[in-house]
Copies of this chain bind each other. A is one copy, B any other.
Amino acid sequence: MARIVQKFGGTSVADIDRIKTVAQRVKKEVDAGNQVAVVLSAMAGVTNQLVTYAREVSSLHDAREFDAVVSTGEQVTAGLLALALQDKGVAARSWQGWQIPIRTDGAHGKARIMGIEIEELERRLALGEVPVVTGFQGLGPDNRITTLGRGGSDTSAVALAAALKADRCDIHTDVDGVYTTDPRIVAGARKLDKITYEEMLEMASAGAKVLQTRAVELAMKRGVRLQVLSSYGDGAGTLVVDEDEIVEKEMISGIAYDRDEAKITLVGVADRPGVAAGIFGPLAEAGINVDMIVQNVSADGKATDLTFTVAKGDLDRAVRVVEELRDALGYADLVYDPNVVKVAVIGVGMRSHAGVAQRMFQALAEKGINIQVISTSEIKVSVLIAEEYTELALRSLHAAYGFEDD
């Protein structure tokens, strides 16, 4: 007998037929003798509709009211799945975040889970009942509903799995696992059986949409074995595990990309202390997240070029912020470009293999693709290139790292 937390996303519960299919999948695990708790998202599109309502009704943002509104979608699906399970003879009940409660801090709209009171869930799991828990939400210190931010249901599932000391947390999605790269672009992309938390984190932050970064971080921290698998198919998915569990490490595990990048370069910035703080402080205050930052040593010791990337949707605002700083910073020119893509090769094997970056640069050069920015971490090499080369770059890199031969 295993204890499993099963999480199903919005497209998996998008209509009544799919909710019934989810009930069938849950029943299968129950029939196999497992203890199962389920975490659900709202029906696909519902949360967006609620967000639109809230924005239309008021230009203000009382995040507490916003949370009260947008948390209702999961309450609907949780109740419906409990009914669907009962209909198949499986004992089940829905649990809204406040009923358990899943306690969070008071940061409405981006709350963090502080603790889950599991006593009653434990008692019911022991009796064979399936708790169906609303994802994405909890109860704040003010006794009001908080939400965890978009995609927070993955985090809810991992937190519940950690609290219940579950043997596995299955994240059911549209895809049947984590791939070496996007199979819609590279025909030879193949599913990974296992990947490490660190790699999954880098993949997620490099643009792979399969799991929320925050959920992977939490799983890593709490040692929760994650599985990414399809809501529809029957096959095994990809396990996200500790590095120890992976015996034969590939040099790299995957190639991710993120089109949601825009590049800004400050030309001729004074090369003196405090300049970076003078730029990124005001950007942070404006709520603009900066991703890649590259600054070279200056040739003459006086001025240098500073390049950074932001989300495409933030480009206009970021440019305005930086333009207002022109006098204070005294840069010579401001150049920006939304037509860029970030491509990253990721793998823990990098640590013990030389030449990983070089192979990437070589492969791109052979296709005549200019590298605009390079940034590296211990297990990742990211480059910024012109967006039009996305597909060509992915296919070239996939071949260059030998994924096609397996």
- List residues of A whose CB falls within 8 A of some B CB: 16, 19-20, 50, 53-54, 56-60, 62, 64-66, 68-69, 71-73, 75-76, 78-84, 86-87, 93-94, 96, 98-99, 143-145
> A65 to B83, Cβ gap below 8 A?
yes
If A82-B62, A83-B62, A99-B144 touch, does A68 touch B75 (CB 8 Å cutoff)? yes
If A98-B98, A99-B143 touch, does A69 touch B76 (CB 8 Å cutoff)? yes
> B64 to A69, Cβ gap below 8 A?
no
Please name all residues of chain B whose beta carbon is closer than 8 Å to the beta carbon of A79 when the two chains form the complex.
Answer: 54, 65-66, 68-69
Q: Give CA–CA (A79, B147) in the complex, Å.
A: 14
Q: Smallest CB–CB gap between A76 and chain B, Å?
A: 5
If A98-B98, A144-B99 touch, does A54 touch B68 (CB 8 Å cutoff)? no
A sample of 30 inter-chain contacts (CB < 8 A) reads: A16-B53, A16-B56, A20-B57, A53-B76, A53-B80, A54-B79, A57-B80, A57-B81, A57-B84, A57-B87, A58-B83, A58-B84, A58-B86, A59-B87, A60-B83, A60-B87, A62-B83, A62-B86, A65-B79, A65-B80, A65-B83, A65-B86, A65-B94, A66-B79, A68-B75, A68-B79, A68-B82, A69-B76, A69-B83, A72-B76
> B60 to A86, Cβ gap below 8 A?
yes
Q: Give CA–CA (A59, B83) in the complex, Å.
A: 9
Nearest chain B residue, comparing its CB with the CB of A70: B79
Q: Specify which of B16, B93, B99 is in contact with A57 (CB 8 Å cutoff).
A: B16
Q: Smallest CB–CB gap between A129 and chain B, Å?
A: 12
Q: Give CA–CA (A76, B42) in the complex, Å.
A: 14
Please name all residues of chain B whose beta carbon is closer than 8 Å to the beta carbon of A98 when the two chains form the complex.
Answer: 98
If A20-B57, A58-B87, A87-B57 touch, does A65 touch B93 (CB 8 Å cutoff)? yes
Please name all residues of chain B whose beta carbon is closer than 8 Å to the beta carbon of A56 when the two chains form the complex.
Answer: 16
Please name all residues of chain B whose beta carbon is closer than 8 Å to the beta carbon of A82 when the two chains form the complex.
Answer: 62, 65, 68
Q: Smallest CB–CB gap between A66 and chain B, Å?
A: 7
Q: Give CA–CA (A86, B73) in the complex, Å.
A: 23
Nearest chain B residue, comparing its CB with the CB of A61: B83
Q: Give CA–CA (A71, B84) in the complex, Å.
A: 18
Q: Smallest CB–CB gap between A274 and chain B, Å?
A: 40
Q: Smallest CB–CB gap between A14 and chain B, Å?
A: 12
Question: Which of A53, A54, A83, A96: most chain B Cβ within 10 A?
Answer: A83
Q: Smallest CB–CB gap between A142 and chain B, Å?
A: 10
Q: Smallest CB–CB gap between A141 and chain B, Å?
A: 14
